[in-house]
């Protein structure tokens, strides 16, 4: 059973406004993520022969963007997925 501190952190994370790009909100999100043991991951999704294919997970958005650029250059419809 999770303790009260874990429940509070999860509640705070779930109530963060993900559309708020202010520096204060970003710092708060990073601070809360330290307690979860996970960081945001990115991958690139693309269509190949009508099927959705996923690349490996990347730790930074810049790496996912590089993969996206490569796939678009090869003619695939692509997008970045954030977890």
What confidence category does residue 26 fall into, taking pLDDT thresholds of 50, 70 and 90?
A: confident
Same domain, 46 and 78: yes
Residues 36-51: tens digit of each pLDDT: 656 678 999 999 999 9
* In contact, 44 and 70? CB cutoff 8 Å: no
Q: What average pLDDT score do residues 58-72 get?
A: 92
pLDDT of residue 11: 72
Same domain, 51 and 78: yes
Measure Cα distances from 9 to 47, 64, 66 in Å: 37, 28, 33
pLDDT of residue 39: 67
Indicate the number of domains in the chain.
2
Same domain, 48 and 27: no
pLDDT at 14 over 50: yes
Domain that holds residue 55: 42-82
Give which of 10, 52, 56, 17 is closest to 35, Cα–Cα.
10
Both tokens of residue 12? 């705070």
């Amino acid at each position: 059973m999770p303790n009260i501190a874990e429940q509070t952190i999860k509640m705070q994370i779930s109530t963060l406004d993900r559309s708020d790009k202010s520096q204060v909100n970003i710092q708060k999100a990073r601070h809360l993520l330290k307690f979860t043991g996970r960081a945001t991951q990115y991958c690139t999704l693309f269509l190949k022969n009508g099927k959705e294919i996923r690349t490996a997970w990347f730790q930074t958005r810049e790496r996912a963007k590089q993969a996206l650029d490569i796939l678009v250059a090869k003619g695939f419809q692509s997008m970045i997925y954030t977890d």
